[in-house]
Chain A
Amino acid sequence: MSSVLEPLRKCEGLSDRDWAAGQTTMVVPSRATLVGRAQSRSRSVFPFLNGRLTVESEGPLPVWFRRAVAALDELAQLPTDWDSYGAGAIGHQSILATAELLLGIMRDDTPFPSVVPTNRGTVLLEWHTRGVDLEVEVRGRDRIHASFEDSRDGTQWEAEIGPDLTQLVQSIERLSERDSASS
Chain B
Amino acid sequence: MTRTLPDFESPPLTEVALSVQFEPLEKLRTAQVGALWTVFRAQFPRTEDHNPLAPVFERFGMPTTSAAEVRLEMLETPPLPRVWFLNPEGTELIQVQQDRFIHNWRKVGQGDTYPRYEHVRDKFESEMTTFQDVLAREQIGRVVANQCEVTYVNHIVAGDGWQTHSQLANVVTVFRTAYIDDKLQEPEDAGLSVRYVLKDVKGASLGRLHISAQPAFRRPDSRPMLVLTLVARLRPPGDELEHVIRALDLGRDAIVRAFASVTTPEMHKLWRRKDVERS
| B56 within 8 A of partner (CB) | yes
* Contact yes or no, B155 A4, CB < 8 A: no
**CB of B252, distance to nearest CB on chain A (Å):** 14
* Contact yes or no, A104 B70, CB < 8 A: no
**CB of A80, distance to nearest CB on chain B (Å):** 15
* Contact yes or no, A57 B57, CB < 8 A: no
Partner of B233, one of A4, A14, A32, A95: A14
| B68 within 8 A of partner (CB) | yes
Chain A residues 95-126 with CB under 8 Å of chain B are 95-96, 99-100, 103-105
In angstroms, Cα B153 to Cα A105, docked, is 33
| B36 within 8 A of partner (CB) | no
Contacting residues, chain A, for B51 (C-beta < 8 A) = 10, 18
**CB of B98, distance to nearest CB on chain A (Å):** 11
Chain A residues 144-159 with CB under 8 Å of chain B are none
* Contact yes or no, B75 A51, CB < 8 A: yes
Partner of B108, one of A23, A100, A140: A23
| B167 within 8 A of partner (CB) | no
Chain A residues 6-26 with CB under 8 Å of chain B are 6, 10, 12-16, 18-19, 22-26
By size class, the interface of chain A is 35 or more
Contacting residues, chain B, for A15 (C-beta < 8 A) = 53
Contacting residues, chain B, for A63 (C-beta < 8 A) = none
Contacting residues, chain B, for A67 (C-beta < 8 A) = none
Contacting residues, chain B, for A100 (C-beta < 8 A) = 67-70
* Contact yes or no, A95 B15, CB < 8 A: no
In angstroms, Cα B19 to Cα A113, docked, is 36
Partner of A53, one of B61, B71, B212: B71
Which of B178-186, B216-224, B267-275 lines the interface with chain A? B216-224
| B195 within 8 A of partner (CB) | yes
Q: Nearest A residue to B224 by beta-carbon distance?
A: A26
| B122 within 8 A of partner (CB) | no
* Contact yes or no, B102 A95, CB < 8 A: no
| B214 within 8 A of partner (CB) | yes
* Contact yes or no, A55 B68, CB < 8 A: yes
| A56 within 8 A of partner (CB) | yes
| A5 within 8 A of partner (CB) | yes
Contacting residues, chain A, for B93 (C-beta < 8 A) = 4
* Contact yes or no, B67 A103, CB < 8 A: yes
* Contact yes or no, B102 A2, CB < 8 A: yes
* Contact yes or no, A14 B74, CB < 8 A: no
Q: Nearest B residue to A49 by beta-carbon distance?
A: B74
* Contact yes or no, A57 B69, CB < 8 A: yes
| A54 within 8 A of partner (CB) | yes
**CB of A120, distance to nearest CB on chain B (Å):** 15
**CB of B203, distance to nearest CB on chain A (Å):** 11
In angstroms, Cα B77 to Cα A50, docked, is 10
| A37 within 8 A of partner (CB) | yes
* Contact yes or no, A93 B24, CB < 8 A: yes
Q: Answer whether A10 and B53 are a contact pair too, CB < 8 Å, given A52-B73, A103-B67, A169-B63.
A: yes
Contact with B along A23-36 (1 / 0, CB 8 A): 11111110011111
Partner of A1, one of B68, B220, B231: B231
| A58 within 8 A of partner (CB) | yes
Contact with A along B83-102 (1 / 0, CB 8 A): 01000001001010000101
| A182 within 8 A of partner (CB) | no
Q: Answer whether A96 and B72 are a contact pair too, CB < 8 Å, given A32-B191, A32-B214, A104-B64.
A: yes
Q: Which residues of B contact A (CB under 8 A)?
A: 14-15, 17-19, 21, 23-24, 50-51, 53-76, 82, 84, 90, 93, 95, 100, 102, 104, 106-109, 146, 149, 151, 153, 155, 189, 191, 193, 195, 204-205, 207, 210, 212, 214-220, 225, 227, 229, 231, 233, 235
Chain A to chain B: the 4 pairs with minimum beta-carbon distance, closest first: A13-B56, A166-B61, A26-B216, A57-B68
Can you give 28 contacting A-B residue pairs, CB < 8 Å? A2-B149, A4-B15, A4-B95, A4-B104, A4-B106, A10-B53, A14-B21, A14-B54, A14-B231, A15-B53, A18-B50, A23-B220, A26-B155, A27-B219, A29-B214, A32-B214, A34-B212, A36-B65, A50-B75, A55-B68, A55-B69, A58-B64, A96-B72, A99-B68, A100-B67, A103-B67, A164-B204, A165-B62
